[in-house]
Amino acid sequence: MEQPEGTRTYALIDARPRAIVIHCSDPRFQKAFDEFIREGLLLEEGEYIPLVISGGVASLSEPLKLPKEFKFMKERIELFLERYSELKRIVLINHEDCRHYEQLKSVLGRLFLQRVRSIGEKQTNDLKIVAKMLLGYAVPGLQIELYYARFCPGETHAVTFEKIPL
């Protein structure tokens, strides 16, 4: 079908994703996430599937308390792994001052911070829990990387990405 004259078109790119990157949708952090993905993770557009959802991995870390969210996320990841055979890398990013985590804390109450002292500790724990769960998938050579975006000392307008050991 012919485009009416003057219609703006939008180009797609050839995508051969070899990674999934899961991070929070907090608008304050998107630019930092994008730059980190390109410069820190060395992934260009089309080379990764962004799975952007409030709270990042929070939805995957509580299969018993948040079963619907867990199922939704897990099925998406399984589908991507099935569809793209070159997908061998999953990057999980959590960030400081996450409002979704704050909200979960008020919804789930004391249960939410069982066995941890702070939300930050809960978030880095969650990264490791979700990594273990994902490594249980039968994908040979699947590599998981964990990062925590932390405010630079004394400010709330810049972050560094701290690598969290598995």
* Contacting positions for Zn ion (CB under 5 A): 24, 26, 98, 100
Choose between 17 and 56: whose C-beta lies nearer to Zn ion: 56
Q: How far is the CB of 148 from Zn ion (least distance, A)?
A: 12
Nearest approach, Cβ of residue 115 and Zn ion (Å): 22
Q: What is the DSSP string of 24-78?
A: ---GGGHHHHHHIIIIIS---TTSEEEEE-TTTTHHHH-TTTSHHHHHHHHHHHH
DSSP 117: S
Whether the CB-CB separation of 156 and 148 falls below 8 Å is answered with no
Q: Which is nearer to Zn ion, 47 or 62 (CB)?
A: 62
Nearer to Zn ion, 91 or 98 (CB): 98
Q: How far is the CB of 30 from Zn ion (least distance, A)?
A: 11
